[in-house]
Amino acid sequence: MIRPSAFIVLVALAGLCSAPTLHAQSLDTQRPAMRDALAAAEAGRFDAATSSSLARHPLYGWLELAALRRDPDAVTTTQAQAFLTRYDGQAVAVQFRNLWLAALARRQDWPTFLAAWKPTDSVALQCAHLQARQATGRTDPAWTEQAQTLWRKGAKSLPDGCDPVFNVLASQGGLTPALRWERIEAAAAERQTGVMRSAARGLPGDDAALANDYAAFIDAVHPRALNWPKTDRSRRMAAHGLAKLAQNDPDTAERLLPQYADALAMGESERGQVLYQVALWTVASYGPDSARRLGNVPESAYDERLHEWRVRDALARGDWPAALAALRKMPATQRNDSRWRYFEARMSEKTGDRAGAQRLFRETATSPTFHGFLAADRLEQPYALCAWIPNDAATAKQAVARDPAIVRAMELWQLERPGWATAEWNEALSRFDDTQRRIAVGVAQDNGWFDRAVFSLGKQPDEQRLYQLRFPLHHGDTIRREAAKHDIDPAWVAAEIRAESIFNPKARSGANAMGLMQVLPSTGAGVAKRWDIPYAGAASLYDADTNIAIGTAYLREMEDKYAVPYVAIAAYNAGPAPTARWQAQRPGFDPDIWIETISYKETREYVARVLAFSVIYDWRLNGTALPVSDRLMGRVQAKRKAFTCPTAHMPKS
Q: How far apart are CA 256 and CA 414, in angstroms?
A: 59
- Among 505, 491, 547, which residue's Cα sits nearest to residue 524? 547
DSSP SS3 for 508: strand
Neighbour-count burial for 495-521, b at 16+ CB within 10 Å, e otherwise: bbbbbbbbbbbebeeeeebbbbbbbbb
Rounded alpha-carbon distances, angstroms, from residue 470 to 262, 450, 499, 567, 626: 55, 8, 11, 26, 20
First vs last Cα of the chain: how many Å apart? 57
What element of type H or E holds 643? strand 643-644
Distance from chain centroid for Cα 216 = 33
463 has catalytic annotation: no
Q: How far apart are CA 556 and CA 484, in angstroms?
A: 11
> 3-state SS string over 192-257?
CHHHHHHHHCCCCHHHHHHHHHHHHHHHCCCHHHHHCCCCHHHHHHHHHHHHHHHHHCHHHHHHHH
Cβ atoms < 10 Å from Cβ of 54: 19
Using a 10 angstrom Cβ sphere, with 0-12 exposed, 13-18 middle and 19 or more buried, the burial of residue 254 is: buried
Q: What helix, strand, coil percent values describe the chain, rounded to 5? A: 70, 0, 30
Q: How far apart are CA 42 and CA 64, in angstroms?
A: 10
The Cβ-side half-sphere exposure at 502, using a 13 Å CA radius, reads: 13
- Among 572, 415, 371, 603, which residue's Cα sits nearest to residue 34? 415
Q: How far apart are CA 598 and CA 312, in angstroms?
A: 9
Rounded alpha-carbon distances, angstroms, from residue 61 to 11, 46, 69, 326, 404: 10, 14, 12, 59, 12
Do residues 443 and 469 make contact, with C-beta atoms less than 8 angstroms apart? no
Strand partners, 383: 643
Residue 8 carries which side chain, given as an amino acid letter?
I
Distance from chain centroid for Cα 478 = 29
Do residues 383 and 624 make contact, with C-beta atoms less than 8 angstroms apart? no
DSSP characters for 104-135?
A: HHHHT-HHHHHHH----S-HHHHHHHHHHHHH
Do residues 212 and 197 make contact, with C-beta atoms less than 8 angstroms apart? yes
Q: How far apart are CA 128 and CA 103, in angstroms?
A: 11
- Identify the active-site residue in 64, 411, 500, 596: 500
Q: How far apart are CA 86 and CA 78, in angstroms?
A: 12
Q: Which residues are catalytic?
A: 500
